[in-house]
Structure 1
Amino acid sequence: MIDDFVLQTILPTTHDLGGFKVHRTLPSKPRTMVGPFLFFDQMGPAHLEVGTGIDVRPHPHINLATVTYLFEGAIDHRDSIGTFATIEPGAVNLMTAGHGIVHSERSPAGQRAQGPDLSGIQTWIALPEAQEEMDPAFEHVEKAALPVIETPNARARIIMGSLWGQTAPTTTYAGTIYADIILDPGGEVPVDADADERAVYLALGEASLDGVPLAPMTLYVLKPGVATSLKSRDGGRVMLCGGDAFSTPRHVWWNFVSSSRERINQAKEDWNAGRFPKVPGDEKEFIPIPEVPKTVSYP
C-alpha cells in the first residue's frame, strides 16, 4: 500500500502563462517545504509558436536560491550581478539571491525563429538563516560535469548533493539531494532513505513506486527512513528531491522568501521604490508587484 512509504501526496496547481502551462506543487496548503525545497514548478512540455518565446521580464528575489533544469529547449538568463548564461538540457543554473538580485529569463533569438520547445523544472531552495543575506551569486554547471549513475534500462543524473555514491559539483547551502531519473521500459532505480525529507515527482511518462503507480505532475513526500524503488513499465522521467529538514519556517510572498516577514515587507517597499539593481542588457522592462501573488506560503 502507498501509505507504507508515502507521507503526503501534493496535487499541482496549474497556471496557463500563454503558450505553455506551469504545474506547481510547492508551496501548497498541505506542505511548504521538502528539505530545503520550497518551490517546485514544472514548465511545459510545450512547443511555442514560430516567432514567439518565453519572456520573463526582470523581477527580484531575496533570501533564496533558484535552480533551473531543462529537459528540452533553452533559456537566456541575465541578472543584476552582470551574468549572462544560456542554459540547455541537462545543465544547471543556480542563482543565489542572498540580500537581493534581479533577473530575467527569455528564449534565445535563434530558437524563436523555429518555435521554441520548453520543458523542465524550476525550484527554489531556502538558504540557512545565517546565509540569507549573503552576497548574490550565480553558478552554471555544464551537463558533462554532473555525475550520471547507470543501471540496466535507467540513468540518474545527480543535479545537487550526494546520491548512489556520487556527488554533484553544484553548490549546496544545506543538506540537499536532487536528481533527474530517466527510466526506460523495464528500468528500476533504488531510492535510498538517507535524507531527512524526500519527495518524488513523475514529470513525464509512466512510473511506479514499489509497485504503486505514480500520478503525473504530483509530488509524493516519502516517509522518513523508508527505502523504496522506482520502476517503469513503459518509460518515464522522475525527479527526486529533498535534504535536511529546516528547523525554522520560511515565508513566501511572490518572489520573496525569508525567515522574516518584516524582511519580505522591506523587499516589497524596495522593489516598488526602484531600489533593487538593474539587469545589464535588460533594463527597460520589469514585472510590477502583483496585488494578489500566485505564490504564497501557508503558515
Structure 2
Amino acid sequence: MSNIKLIIEERPANIGNFMVGRLLPFREKRMVGPFSFIDHMGPAAMNDHENLDVPPHPHIGLSTLTFLFEGEITHKDSLGSDVVIKPGQVNWMTSGSGIVHSERTPEYLRHSDKMLHGLQIWVALPKDLEQMEPEFFHVEGTDIPAWEQDGVAIKLIAGEAFGRKSPVPVYSPLYFLELKSTRRQKVNIGDYLFGESALYILDGAIESDGHIFEPRQILIANDAKLCEFTMHENTSVYIFGGEAFPEERFIYWNFVASDKELIEKAKQKWIEQSFKPVPGETGFVPLPDPIRNIKH
C-alpha cells in the first residue's frame, strides 16, 4: 500500500510584484506538523529595473524561515534587524505577539540583472508561546549540520533529526531537511523522522511505489516511519514535518493563531498602525479586504 496520502501541486500566487508557487496551506491539508505555509519563490530572472519589494507587513503567532538557493534579500524588521540573506543561510524570525518586517532586493543589486530563488516557510508556534516576545536569528550556511549518508548529501536546516540538531532555535519538535543525490539512489529515512511528514521535490524526480514524481509537488506521507523512496540522478528534495499541535490553527493573511480573537486584535492593531515600525521604512502593506473569512 502506498505511503503517499496526498499530492499537492504548486499553485501560483502573487506577493506584490513577485509571483511564487504556493504549496501550503491547501484545502485538504492545512498544516504538516507545525508547518502552516510554504511558498516557492522563483526561479526568477530580474533585469536591472526589476526588484523584490515587499513593504512592511505584520506577523503574529509564527516563525518565518527564509532559505535561498539563488539571489539575495535584505530583511529589515521592527526589532531593528537589518540583514542580507544569501544562499544557504537561514533567516529565522519569530513574531510571537507581533513583529513587522520588509523584504527587498539589496541596494547594491537594484540596478543590475539578478536571480531570485528560494523557499519561504511559516512554522506555527505552540499555544503557550503564541504571545512570546518577538525574536530574530540569522544563521550562516557553514553552521548548518551537513553530512553524507548512503550516497546522499543531507543538510539539517532546522530542528532535530538523525541524532543531530540545527542551531536554528525552533520552539516545537520538527525537522526541515535537504537531500541531494547525484546518482540514482534508494533512500530509507523513516527511522529518523517523526510526527507528520512531507517531501517537496525541487529538482529531478523520485519514485515511490512504482510512481514517478517530478518537481513542484509536495508529497504528504501517511506515516513518516515508512519514508522510503528512490531519488533519480541530480535530484534535490526537502523533507519537513514534526509533531502536530493538539489545537486547530486559524490563518488570516499573515496572522496565525489558535484563537480567532488574537487575529481580530492583530487586524485592528494593523489598521491603526500601532505595531512597532521598521526603522528606516515608510509605507506598508494594507490589510486585505476585512470581510475576508479567517481560514480554518
Q: Which residue number corresponds to residue 239 of structure 1? A: 238
Q: Which residue number corresponds to residue 273 of structure 1? A: 272
Q: Which residue number corresponds to residue 86 of structure 2? A: 88
Superposition deviation, residue 255 in structure 1: 0.5
1:150 is aligned to 2:128: no
Q: Which residue number corresponds to residue 215 of structure 1? A: 214
Q: Could you give the per-residue CA deviations for residues 189-243 of structure 1, whole angstroms, max 9, x where no partner exists?
A: 4332431100001122323345532232121111125323343333122110000
Q: Which residue number corresponds to residue 69 of structure 2? A: 71
Residue aligned with 2:58, SS: strand
Q: Which residue number corresponds to residue 170 of structure 2? A: 172
Which of 183, 189, 192 is the equivalent residue of 2:190?
192
CA distance in 2, matches of 1:98, 1:69: 20
Q: Which residue number corresponds to residue 96 of structure 2? A: 98
Q: TM-score when scaled to structure 1?
A: 0.92
Q: Which residue number corresponds to residue 251 of structure 1? A: 250
Q: Could you give the per-residue CA deviations for residues 11-62 of structure 1, whole angstroms, max 9, x where no partner exists?
A: 2221245775311121111011101000011001111112321001000000
Which of 280, 286, 289 is the equivalent residue of 1:288?
286
**Range with greater deviation from structure 2 (272-281 or 9-18):** 9-18
Superposition deviation, residue 107 in structure 1: 0.9
Q: Could you give the per-residue CA deviations for residues 112-160 of structure 1, whole angstroms, max 9, x where no partner exists?
A: 2322211111110010110000000001111000011214653111111
Change (3 A) 1:185 1:111: farther
Letter in 2 for 1:271: W
Q: Which residue number corresponds to residue 124 of structure 2? A: 126
Q: How does 1:14-53 map to 2 (within 5 A)?
A: 14-16=12-14, 20-53=18-51
Kept in 2, the 8 Å contact 1:149–1:164? The answer is: no
Change (3 A) 1:257 1:19: closer
Letter in 1 for 2:74: D
Kept in 1, the 8 Å contact 2:204–2:232? The answer is: no
Across the two proteins, how many residue pairs are aligned to each other?
295
Kept in 1, the 8 Å contact 2:203–2:214? The answer is: no
Change (3 A) 1:173 1:293: farther
**Range with greater deviation from structure 2 (146-155 or 249-258):** 146-155
Give the share of equivalent positions with the same residue, in percent.
Answer: 36
Q: Which residue number corresponds to residue 264 of structure 1? A: 263
Superposed structure 1 runs of 4+ greater than 4 Å apart: 16-20, 292-296
Q: Which residue number corresponds to residue 6 of structure 2? A: 8
Residue aligned with 1:139, SS: strand
Superposition deviation, residue 181 in structure 1: 1.6
Letter in 2 for 1:265: E
Q: Which residues of structure 2 form unaligned runs of 5+?
A: none
CA distance in 1, matches of 2:239, 2:291: 27
**Range with greater deviation from structure 2 (106-115 or 49-58):** 106-115
Residue aligned with 1:172, SS: coil
Q: Which residues of structure 1 form unaligned runs of 5+?
A: none
Q: Which residue number corresponds to residue 223 of structure 2? A: 224
CA distance in 2, matches of 1:109, 1:24: 27
**Range with greater deviation from structure 2 (159-168 or 11-20):** 11-20
Residue aligned with 1:161, SS: strand
Kept in 2, the 8 Å contact 1:107–1:116? The answer is: no
Change (3 A) 1:55 1:157: same
Change (3 A) 1:62 1:225: closer
